[in-house]
Structure 1
Amino acid sequence: MSFTSPRDVYLLAAARGVSMLGDFLAATALVLAFQERGAGGVAVAAVLIASVLPVVALAPLVGRLVDRVDSRVLLTTVGLAQVGVCAAMAFTTSTWVLVGLAGLLAAGVAITTPTFSALLPEVAGVDGIGRAMAISQTANSVGSLAGPALAGVLVGAFGLRAPLLIDAGTYLAVVGAGLLLRTRRRVSAHERAEGGTSGWKIRHEPVLWPLLLLIAALVLTLNVNMVVGVFYIRETLGGSPAEFGLVEAAWTAGMLAGGWLAASRARDDKALGRALVGLHLATAIAVLLSGFATMVWMVYPLWLLGGAMNGAENNFLGVLAARRVPAAVRGAFFARFGAVINGANLIGYAAGGVLVGRFEPRPIVLACGAAGVLTVLVLGPALWRASGRSGVASSLPGTSSPHSPSPANSHSAP
């Protein structure tokens, strides 16, 4: 199958991968630096909260921007601003100033992420969307895989400044994508009206709505572990900064494998929705089992397995969204979907910051995994039933025909 613009597919994937490397490099470096400074769980939770709060708070504005403003303008201006913010972070020593600057950086991510996501179906075309998602997730996974491992090495050898300066350089990839992409996206009011999308709501979508509820609830229960993880690996299991980075990288390596395994077969929407129930359950079980580890190496295979499930989840979610969301409102959809998921992240991070100061890391990890399993058992049946009723993709503007399912391939999570 061919792409609408093969050059733009690979350029878009490369830009996202490089940017993702910088994001994970900086985030992991900040968490490690705060832990080594003795800043405690509150500071770790604060920087994680700052990384998602703008995505939640700015979602209504971002949705309008992405669907109305030229994608080239958004990517170039926001990318340049992110370069400046990262450079400022590299020369800042105050923990709380770093937290504030991380929030500014996340405001840019809140804009560029849905811009990239909405562009992908445009550069790939309906028939090529599945394979384009596989390519995009591969680039994202490579960046996400290299970032944490590199952060562990750089923080241990040079401190915080080096990874933050490298992150500043990676945002130039966003600027370059904005300048070099031939495909440009801007949806006019006439096009939105002509497409009949003014009244489209995700809560009326039979498959995406229960899927959103399941993912949000699962993210909330599992992502407490994001705050606790550094203390669990470093203190409970006695891991080094490099080992912590490698544990984080193991999850991403699993995502890369899982995304391509899921991309190897075409499925209709009924099969995708039901597969997502099983995949989410397996992810939660992997987190639960990690709480029984006694040495760092025991976490690696579980994180590889959990990451593989997560990669397949992202794959199937991306294909469903590309099929079922009208083209004219894709920017708003990705912005608001991301806001809900990151809102769940926000609550999870805040809870983690409170819990890590009151309990030992291991019981928290076990509780997160158990809560994740319970969440899927409670909310999963609704998605299973909705998938059975829907069966095939909706006949929406900008999506594939309801009787011509596209091949299932990879996509990064919103």
Structure 2
Amino acid sequence: MSFTSGPSRWSDVWLATATRGISSCGDFLAASALTLALQSAGAGGLAVSALLLAATLPLVALAPLTGRLADRVDSRLLLVVAGLAQAGVCLALAYADDPGLVIALVALLAAGLAVTQPVLSALVPAMVRADDLPRASALNQTAGTLGALAGPALAGLLVGEFGARLPLLVDASSYLALVAAGLLIRTRRGGSRRADPAATGSGATATTWRLRRDPLLVAGIATLAGVIAAVGAINVVEVFFIRETLGSSTTVYGLVTGSWTLGVVLGGWLFARVARRLADDGALLGAGLALLGCCCLAVLASAAVPSAALLVPIWLLGGVANGGDNVFHTLLLARRVPEVARGRAFAVFGAAVQGAGMAGFLVGGLLLELAEPRPLVAGCGVAGLLVVAAVVIPVRRAVRAERAAVARPDDAGAVAGRAAGAELATPTPSR
């Protein structure tokens, strides 16, 4: 079933939240430590780009497999096994010196993340009633972004004092939180607990659900992926922009990059209240597009700052818009995808986002060989705004088509498109 028939299982939500926060902190701690180690060793944009690609490619390439695993295998088993494997890989990473081995181990670490991400994402909607989903999503996102906020700042401090090994050892221990979550969370999916399609009333199964049959979801995911692809180069450029162009220390770098993630926390809670009032899925999609435009404006404005301190308020506002869009997209997926297919849906969504990010990483690494960081930051903002402008008309068409389909209850496509939304209306008995 999609949601609990009784009270929401907030104890499980809090366990999932703590797990998300700890593991997210470890992920960003390791990524920032390795990025700073490369930059401090004199590596260029291509080396940073290769590292980021290794951390991202498995999430894209393995999505068809890991999404099905999340729906078909017991969530407890997946969390325990993946958590232990990631802890072991990160421990090896702390003592690896060869750049090729480091990249290979980072890719293995990301393979574990490709499993745990859809498992945890699909578990959260199963823990709560429909009305509580925006709050639960905001809580889960808050933990992830607080972890992302603490990770770079902690990496900046630890790398400056002790080098990259200690942050990686801390990261290895953080993956044990996944093991604890797998053992303690009562809500479970997959295995013998796979939902009965007849019981859900959706008529959809994990094998029959297809993203392409839902034009509204296609438009939403394509829009987000397009903007991320356009702006994603900023993830490679920012370390050179902040450290070299603006002349800041590793500690300042961690604090400045953390300001965006702090904004994501604030935006998640602010827009969770708004999301509960947006019963129409088309309105959710339109509001998300507007927030993506605000994110791009923040990136563009950051190119004009003379010092790193001025980046903080700009990136804070950009993060607020980012956090709101995250809540809207999570709610849109939960409303429109039947429970038995949610693991695959979140894996597909994650693959689209991560694949777009990979394109940005590659472009950022190449462009840094040709241009200075400041004009590249401005270019990222402009490119993102152009994508937002380009998708306005297709998104409006998808929203109009959705509303027209809902107005024709005899239309088979409309019935299929509203299947998951019907479950939400009538809850039934888990960067």
Measured in 2, the distance between the counterparts of 1:390 and 1:355 equals 40
1:292, distance to aligned residue in structure 2 (A): 1.2
Counterpart of 1:218 (choices 202, 213, 227) is: 227
Q: What amino acid is aligned across from residue 357 of structure 1 in structure 2?
A: E
1:223-249 deviation per Cα after TM superposition (whole angstroms, max 9, x unaligned): 111111100111111111011111110
Q: Report if aligned partners of 1:145, 1:252 keep a CA contact under 8 Å in 2.
A: yes
> Cα distance 1:168–1:403, how it changes in 2: closer, same or farther (>3 A)?
closer
Q: Report if aligned partners of 1:327, 1:398 keep a CA contact under 8 Å in 2.
A: no
Identity %: 47
Measured in 2, the distance between the counterparts of 1:150 and 1:403 equals 40
Measured in 1, the distance between the counterparts of 2:72 and 2:315 equals 40
Measured in 2, the distance between the counterparts of 1:181 and 1:246 equals 33
Q: What amino acid is aligned across from residue 394 of structure 2 in structure 1?
A: A
Q: What amino acid is aligned across from residue 106 of structure 2 in structure 1?
A: A
1:108-145 deviation per Cα after TM superposition (whole angstroms, max 9, x unaligned): 00000000001111111323212111111111121111
> Cα distance 1:136–1:48, how it changes in 2: closer, same or farther (>3 A)?
same
Equivalent runs, 1:96-115 vs 2, <5 Å = 96-115=100-119
Alignment-derived partner of residue 86 in structure 1: 90
Alignment-derived partner of residue 66 in structure 1: 70
Q: Report if aligned partners of 1:3, 1:127 keep a CA contact under 8 Å in 2.
A: no
Q: Report if aligned partners of 2:197, 2:340 keep a CA contact under 8 Å in 1.
A: no
Three-state SS of the structure 2 residue aligned to 1:200 is coil
Measured in 1, the distance between the counterparts of 2:225 and 2:348 equals 12
Three-state SS of the structure 1 residue aligned to 2:349 is helix
Indicate the larger mover: 393-402 or 40-49. Answer: 393-402
Alignment-derived partner of residue 410 in structure 1: none
Alignment-derived partner of residue 247 in structure 2: 238
> Cα distance 1:166–1:207, how it changes in 2: closer, same or farther (>3 A)?
same
The answer to whether residue 30 in structure 2 is matched with residue 21 in structure 1 is: no
Equivalent runs, 1:329-344 vs 2, <5 Å = 329-344=341-356
CA RMSD of aligned residues (A): 2.2
Counterpart of 2:278 (choices 262, 267, 288) is: 267
1:389, distance to aligned residue in structure 2 (A): 4.0
Q: Report if aligned partners of 1:45, 1:349 keep a CA contact under 8 Å in 2.
A: yes
Q: Report if aligned partners of 2:303, 2:374 keep a CA contact under 8 Å in 1.
A: yes
1:14-60 deviation per Cα after TM superposition (whole angstroms, max 9, x unaligned): 11111001001111111111000012111111110011100111111
Q: Report if aligned partners of 1:395, 1:402 keep a CA contact under 8 Å in 2.
A: no
Q: Report if aligned partners of 1:63, 1:333 keep a CA contact under 8 Å in 2.
A: yes
The answer to whether residue 338 in structure 2 is matched with residue 326 in structure 1 is: yes
Measured in 1, the distance between the counterparts of 2:91 and 2:204 equals 44
Equivalent runs, 1:102-251 vs 2, <5 Å = 102-186=106-190, 191=195, 194=198, 195-197=203-205, 198-251=207-260
Measured in 2, the distance between the counterparts of 1:237 and 1:75 equals 41
Measured in 2, the distance between the counterparts of 1:27 and 1:122 equals 31
The answer to whether residue 4 in structure 2 is matched with residue 4 in structure 1 is: no
Counterpart of 2:397 (choices 382, 385, 393) is: 385
Alignment-derived partner of residue 291 in structure 2: 279
1:51-109 deviation per Cα after TM superposition (whole angstroms, max 9, x unaligned): 11001111111111111110011000010000001111111222222111111000000
> Cα distance 1:238–1:190, how it changes in 2: closer, same or farther (>3 A)?
closer
Alignment-derived partner of residue 410 in structure 2: none
1:196, distance to aligned residue in structure 2 (A): 2.4
Alignment-derived partner of residue 347 in structure 1: 359
Three-state SS of the structure 1 residue aligned to 2:215 is coil
1:183, distance to aligned residue in structure 2 (A): 1.1
TM-score normalised by L of structure 1 = 0.93
Please list every run of 5 or more consecutive structure 2 residues that lacks an aligned counterpart in the other structure. Answer: 407-413
Three-state SS of the structure 2 residue aligned to 1:293 is coil
Q: What amino acid is aligned across from residue 29 of structure 1 in structure 2?
A: A
> Cα distance 1:229–1:48, how it changes in 2: closer, same or farther (>3 A)?
same
TM-score normalised by L of structure 2 = 0.90
Indicate the larger mover: 127-136 or 275-284. Answer: 127-136
Number of aligned residue pairs: 407
Please list every run of 5 or more consecutive structure 1 residues that lacks an aligned counterpart in the other structure. Answer: 407-412
